[in-house]
Amino acid sequence: MKKIFLWLFNVCFGLIVFAQTDSITSYKKTSAMIPMRDGIRLYTVILSPVNAKNSVPIMITRTPYGASFPIPDDTVVTIIPNNFNYYSMAREGYIFVFQDIRGKYKSEGSMQIHQPLVHAVRKNVVDESTDTWDTVDWLVKHVANNNGKAGIFGISYPGWLALVGAVDPHPALKAASEQACMGDLFLGDDFHHNGAFRLSYGMEYTYEVEFDKTTDSDFPFPQFDLYDWYLKLGSLKNVNGKYFHNKIPTWNDFVQHPNYDSFWKQNSPLNYVAYPQIPMLHVGGYFDQEDINGPQLMYEHMEKRDSFNRNYIVLGPWNHGQWARGRADSLGKIAWESNTAEWFQSLQKKWFDYWLKGIDSHHDSATQKKFDEATCFQTGSNQWKSYSSWPPKEATKMNLYAAANNTCSFEKPTSTTGAISFVSDPAHPVPYRTQPIEATYGRGSRWRTWHVEDQRFVYTRPDVVSFAMDSLKEDLTVTGKIIAHLFASTTGTDADWVVKLIDVYPNFDPKNLLMSGYQLPVAMEIFRGRFRKSFSNPSPLTPNKPEEFVIDLHEINHVFKKGHRIMIQIQSTWFPIIDRNPQKYAPNIFEAKESDFIKATHTIYLNAKYPTSIELPVIK
């Protein structure tokens, strides 16, 4: 959810003070304090095209990260050619609006992260939906030369604002695109994944947003590499005890709601966003380090009631918001061999041009649909693919089974015995990326690329087990949802399970020798064992009892190339992105005692009765 808004605007929008006559498009900047129905006023920046030949639509981005930028009102600026999120739309004329949400930066009121929509059930109560409605109403009435149509889009937190702004929308709001929006904050995204708490991100982000409403605040860490700092932090109860002192509201919510109770359910968009009331384009990245689940989850949820063909999805080979900056032709050491950002921005322009300008440049006469239901980049082959349904119905489910001798295959085990054990020690957790582990948004941070980091850095640890198959004789295309079926036990009474699906490059990669043996994590996820039966009512694990843990590894579209190998990798700690599970059951991990943190022996089962596997949707 971290701010990328101002970076995109100041660096990528390419605005310069107007000083020449051969500019592509010139814009005039104004600002306003727009009144909401409860009297609170929201600071709003308006960029209007100068000398536009026709009336044009309004494009809105609402943000908690600061809508202002350092040029005076009534300054005329020009956009310069560049590859970025706004340029292609700006050159043909849109009115761009950027607004501080209530309680942040120059807007009035108070703010707390991701408050649910309540206006439909509580009379005379405001929320982000009503604020969007009031903003659109003011804009169409007061901004000159608009065509009476508005769209809303945004990335990360602004993506969530676009999602909820499209609920009970103003009649002039005709289309929305939520991009990298948060989904359910307990089941996945941002603060928890399957109940496992995202420690470093949750602590640093909540401090950033809520410590000072007028700005973003960096937590004052005393060192650069934070692996040892988080380890010495000890129990999560020390965060308030030593640092926050109960002054960060969202952190207090974490402590008070360690399970999936009514608080989390009411705060989930699954509860307050029912269906697409206007056309919605969901946009997400396979390697999004912050909100990988939101776009997939919300598309699936809204698709169930999409009776007017308003619901669409685009998935690409991106980290958080990467499609809006630069070329997005690679991520870390992985090359996509094309400018995927430019490709997406062209599609985005066609999307809004159609709904807001009536320009039909993407009509499919065969299906009578204006856009493909799903447009998903295929990693491995590095091609864009279109689908009439997502995930595609033609996929065949095949189980890849972990087997003895650290192997895996598509043949189910027949042996009545077979298992592998390792010791998990909370005092020596597996790092989730190579050290140094910098502050998430600190100087020099490699946070953006850790989802494609070569997993060989943990491959030889004794508390990480791997199962690899022989080299593929032909390409294998996997498209859709990946589900892990892990059969495991522990000598403790709680445990975390991390499962990864890895593409192992050839020992000698003829395409790029430096990529030889690279272990690319195509999909990976964690599950907190106490929630195996219910996220609302956790229960201890029974020591040494084999149990099945079903783990959603999300959706991918990947070709495992001929000569590559597929690997399953399993571990129990992922630090400090995930807090340390004490491994001795504590009703509230946020209040665990230091004595609760114990070593435990974990066992992964590989036999006919307990066949650990990953379910792959294979396209023949």
pLDDT tens digits along 232-266: 999 999 999 999 999 999 999 999 999 999 999 99
pLDDT value of position 114:
85
Pairing verdict, β 56-63 and 95-100 = parallel
pLDDT value of position 51:
83
194-239 tens-digit pLDDT: 999 999 999 999 999 899 978 889 999 999 999 999 999 999 999 9
Structure token pair of residue 2: 């971290």
pLDDT value of position 213:
78
Give the closest residue to 80 by CA, choosing from 26, 4, 161: 26
When pLDDT is averaged across residues 16-40 and rounded to a whole number, the result is 74
Buried b (16+ CB within 10 A) or exposed e, 183-220: bbbbbbbbbbbbbbbbbbbbbbbbbbbbeeeeebeebe
Three-state SS for 115? coil
When pLDDT is averaged across residues 4-8 and rounded to a whole number, the result is 46
Structure token pair of residue 503: 């593409």
pLDDT of 43 over the 80 cut: yes
pLDDT of 191 over the 50 cut: yes
Structure token pair of residue 153: 């889009």
pLDDT of 364 over the 60 cut: no
pLDDT value of position 80:
67
The Cα–Cα gap between 209 and 71 comes to 25
81 vs 287: which has the higher pLDDT: 287
DSSP conformation letters of 534-549: -SSS--PPPTT--EEE
Q: What is the mean pLDDT of the chain?
A: 93
The Cα–Cα gap between 5 and 63 comes to 8
The Cα–Cα gap between 597 and 575 comes to 14
405-445 tens-digit pLDDT: 999 999 999 999 999 999 999 999 999 999 999 999 999 99
Predicted confidence band at 127 (pLDDT cuts at 50, 70, 90)? very high
Q: Which residue has the tokens 């928890």?
A: 192
pLDDT value of position 79:
76
When pLDDT is averaged across residues 84-94 and rounded to a whole number, the result is 81
Please give the helix or strand (H or E) that residue 15 lies within, else none. Answer: strand 15-17
Min mean pLDDT across 1-15, 321-335, 458-472, 483-497 is at 1-15
pLDDT value of position 25:
66
Predicted confidence band at 84 (pLDDT cuts at 50, 70, 90)? low
The Cα–Cα gap between 196 and 198 comes to 7
CATH architecture entry for 396-619: Sandwich (2.60)
The Cα–Cα gap between 480 and 398 comes to 12
Domain ranges of the chain: 5-183+271-387, 195-265, 396-619
pLDDT value of position 370:
73
Q: 141 vs 134, 138, 146, 530, CA distance in Å?
A: 11, 5, 9, 54
Are 526 and 432 within 8 A, CB to CB?
A: no
pLDDT of 15 over the 60 cut: no
pLDDT value of position 70:
87
pLDDT value of position 461:
98
What are the two backbone dihedrals, phi and then psi, of residue 284, each rounded to the nearest 5 degrees? -150, 165
The Cα–Cα gap between 482 and 152 comes to 31
pLDDT of 92 over the 90 cut: no
Predicted confidence band at 5 (pLDDT cuts at 50, 70, 90)? very low
For 34-57, what is the HEC assignment? EECCCCCEEEEEEEEECCCCCCEE
The Cα–Cα gap between 282 and 160 comes to 11
CATH architecture entry for 195-265: Orthogonal Bundle (1.10)
pLDDT of 72 over the 70 cut: yes
Are 607 and 415 within 8 A, CB to CB?
A: yes
569-589 tens-digit pLDDT: 999 999 999 999 999 999 999
The Cα–Cα gap between 604 and 610 comes to 9
The Cα–Cα gap between 225 and 437 comes to 5
pLDDT value of position 368:
44
- Which residues make Cβ contacts (< 8 Å) with residue 11, sequence separation at least 6? 325
Burial of 381 (0-12, 13-18, 19+ CB in 10 A): middle
- For the beta carbon of residue 70, count every other beta carbon within 10 angstroms: 5
Predicted confidence band at 285 (pLDDT cuts at 50, 70, 90)? very high
Three-point CA angle 453, 554, 530, nearest 5°: 95
Are 205 and 198 within 8 A, CB to CB?
A: no
Are 431 and 470 within 8 A, CB to CB?
A: no
Three-state SS for 165? helix
When pLDDT is averaged across residues 381-397 and rounded to a whole number, the result is 97
Min mean pLDDT across 130-139, 183-192, 279-288, 519-528 is at 183-192
Are 491 and 604 within 8 A, CB to CB?
A: no
The Cα–Cα gap between 47 and 26 comes to 10
485-530 tens-digit pLDDT: 999 999 999 999 999 999 999 999 988 999 999 999 999 999 999 9
DSSP conformation letters of 194-207: TTEE-HHHHHHHHH
The Cα–Cα gap between 130 and 245 comes to 33
Predicted confidence band at 17 (pLDDT cuts at 50, 70, 90)? very low
pLDDT of 24 over the 80 cut: no
The CATH topology of domain 5-183+271-387 is Rossmann fold (3.40.50)
